[in-house]
Amino acid sequence: MSIDHRLDGEYEELRRTVEQFAHDVVAPKIGEFYEHDEFPYEIVREMGRMGLFGLPFPEECGGMGGDYFALCLALEELARVDSSVAITLEAGVSLGAMPIHRFGTEEQKRTWLPKLCSGEMLGAFGLTEPECGSDAGGTRTTARLDPETDEWVINGTKCFITNSGTDITGLVTVTAVTDRAEDGRPVISSIIVPSGTPGFTVSKKYSKVGWNASDTRELSFSDCRVPAANLLGELGRGYAQFLRILDEGRIAISALSTGLAQGCVDESLRYAKEREAFGRPIGANQAIQFKIADMEMRAHTARLAWRDAASRMLHGEPFKKEAALAKLYSSEIAVTSAREATQIHGGYGFMNEYPVARMWRDSKILEIGEGTSEVQRMLIARELGLTG
Ligand SMILES: Cc1cc2nc3c(=O)[nH]c(=O)nc-3n(C[C@H](O)[C@H](O)[C@H](O)COP(=O)(O)OP(=O)(O)OC[C@H]3O[C@@H](n4cnc5c(N)ncnc54)[C@H](O)[C@@H]3O)c2cc1C
């Protein structure tokens, strides 16, 4: 039994390395990319060189031999400085590469994982559609197996898909209805679609409120054909597989949210000491001190929540409820802390050149992506035995 929440040597070393990278490499450059809605290829390349995209994968697949906890530590440190690069890593690893690692055939792993782990290539996962997001079982995209060519023929549209249209995107795994059960319910499977496949169209980038240096697109499939061997995992298990991926992803989003909340503390502390009003630093006022103390309390508690969920997951214990609790709590406190940090910065907090403005804009999506706050509450209530 272990009750120590502190990090041991290797985890702490990783945390410090990523903290330094975020401070030295990301912080000075990211504002410019964000301002121009540009994907930060050079930063992502550097993250690849550091091995961040391979963190939770075994060395034989091209990974770093670490675990999901290590990934979450890296996400928290990146998001303390910037959430666009953090979500690029989160989606690349937990939505792009992880489904292939968990459910892929040996051939699929050999084909895709080395490049995904090195960060040379990004993968994406397309679940959400224009008419269904939270209710992902309502997927309308279809995939029909053509027995003559032994190919899947995919038709449909996916929306809001992260990492799906960069120059280094290599694949998107999509969920699609491959059959109907006797009671008429859709049977959903996951299929890997390589970038550039005829019939697969990537739309232009959305204009977003936040995460402006990350890539988000709508994707359409019109008689798009891929080999039958591109089925990922078992036929008809696509929905179940995706739920597992989302449970894990919630821990990662929780770590990312914690990072944003901690970044709000970092920035507010610095500003409260520097900025003077009425002849003294604004941080000398208890009203400001209490705001920052509350922000620190929230970030600390959120950190304990994601670490608890990650620890359960790594020990092979049930973690669905803890992942939902962590995601719900940390995303909501990230929004609150970003609002308070902006307030502490006064008018400068509303200027894009200040990191807190970016944090404020980036915080809202945390309550929406990878399961909205309402969905997390539904999951927690269900885990508590409440139904109906
Ligand atoms: C920047 C960005 C990146 C994204 N990246 C990806 C990605 O890489 N891959 C991917 O597949 N998706 C991605 N998404 C989609 C995201 O996961 C969905 O937007 C999210 O799951 C919510 O789905 P929705 O937008 O369809 O909202 P809806 O499901 O339509 O929900 C609308 C509102 O109704 C509420 N609601 C719905 N059902 C209930 C209920 N039963 N009870 C109470 N309230 C309910 C919701 O909580 C929400 O507040 C991304 C979205 C964004 C904005």
Instruction: Please give the Cα distance from 97 to 107 (Å, whole number).
Output: 14
SS3 of 276, please?
strand
Contact 108/233 with Cβ under 8 angstroms? no
The reported pLDDT for the residue numbered 3 is 63
| Residue 40 beta carbon below 6 angstroms from any ligand 1 atom | no
| Residue 369 beta carbon below 6 angstroms from any ligand 1 atom | yes
Domains of the chain (ranges, CATH numbers): 9-122 (1.10.540.10), 124-237 (2.40.110.10), 240-383 (1.20.140.10)
Global pTM reads 0.97
- Span from the CA of 139 to the centroid of ligand 1 (angstroms): 13
- Span from the CA of 323 to the centroid of ligand 1 (angstroms): 17
How many CB atoms are closer than 10 A to CB 367?
A: 18
Q: Ligand 1, closest atom to CA 378?
A: 42
Go through 228-252 and write b for each residue having 16 or more CB atoms within 10 A of its CB, e for each that does not: eebbbbeeebbbebbebbbbbbbbb
| Residue 172 beta carbon below 6 angstroms from any ligand 1 atom | no
| Residue 127 beta carbon below 6 angstroms from any ligand 1 atom | yes
The reported pLDDT for the residue numbered 248 is 96
- DSSP secondary structure code for residue 25 in this structure: I
Q: Nearest C-alpha to atom 52 of ligand 1 is from which residue?
A: 160
Q: What is the pLDDT along the chain (388 residues), one digit of tens a residue?
A: 566 777 888 999 999 999 999 999 999 999 999 999 999 999 999 999 999 999 999 999 999 999 999 999 999 999 999 999 999 999 999 999 999 999 999 999 999 999 999 999 999 999 999 999 999 889 999 999 999 999 999 999 999 999 999 999 999 999 999 999 999 899 999 999 999 999 999 998 999 999 999 999 999 999 999 999 999 999 999 889 989 999 999 999 999 999 999 999 999 999 999 999 999 999 999 999 999 999 999 999 999 999 999 999 999 999 999 999 999 999 999 999 999 999 999 999 999 999 999 999 999 999 999 999 999 999 999 999 998 7
| Residue 136 beta carbon below 6 angstroms from any ligand 1 atom | no
Classify the C-alpha dihedral 259-261-262-264 as positive or negative: positive
- 181 Cβ neighbours under 8 A, 6+ residues apart: 187
- Span from the CA of 379 to the centroid of ligand 1 (angstroms): 15
Catalytic residues: 370
| Residue 141 beta carbon below 6 angstroms from any ligand 1 atom | no
The reported pLDDT for the residue numbered 264 is 98
Instruction: Please give the Cα distance from 83 to 95 (Å, whole number).
Output: 16
- Kind of pairing between the strands at 231-232 and 280-281: unpaired
- DSSP secondary structure code for residue 348 in this structure: G
- Span from the CA of 304 to the centroid of ligand 1 (angstroms): 26
- Span from the CA of 368 to the centroid of ligand 1 (angstroms): 6
